[in-house]
């Protein structure tokens, strides 16, 4: 699994943002949302990799259904990333902006 570059990139993102989620001054539910969306990205990426491996195992020749299966898996990963980014922007964004305003002013 670590040979998948997308998974490595997402794992790096999780490794960076997990400590941030633990140290941000947020309540328990918000912390769970921050960490949960990170975990969701990894879960969806693993499922996408599984679909791609199964499709490639069946046949390496180009087929419309194979392409659709891979495209749907990639779209699911993108939606998980959008959800994660939106959650982080909504919860952590105002806190970080407040910190930056304190530093500037």
For residue 45, indicate whether it is catalytic.
yes
Of 84, 89, 81, 80, nearest to 24 (Cα)?
Answer: 89
Which residues make Cβ contacts (< 8 Å) with residue 25, sequence separation at least 6? 95
Cβ atoms of 15 and 39 within 8 Å: the answer is no
Give me the catalytic one of 3, 4, 30, 45: 45
Q: How far apart are the first and last CA of the chain?
A: 46
Q: Which amino acids are annotated catalytic? A: 45
């Amino acid at each position: 699994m670590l040979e998948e570059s997308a998974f490595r990139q997402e794992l790096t993102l999780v490794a960076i943002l997990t400590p941030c989620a633990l140290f941000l001054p947020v309540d328990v539910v918000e912390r769970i949302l921050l960490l949960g969306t990170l975990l969701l990205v990894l879960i969806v990426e693993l499922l996408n990799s599984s679909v791609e491996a199964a499709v490639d195992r069946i046949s390496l020749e180009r087929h419309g259904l194979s392409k659709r299966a891979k495209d749907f898996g990639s779209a699911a990963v993108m939606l998980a990333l959008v959800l994660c980014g939106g959650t982080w922007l909504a919860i952590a964004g105002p806190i970080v902006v407040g910190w930056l305003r304190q530093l500037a002013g």
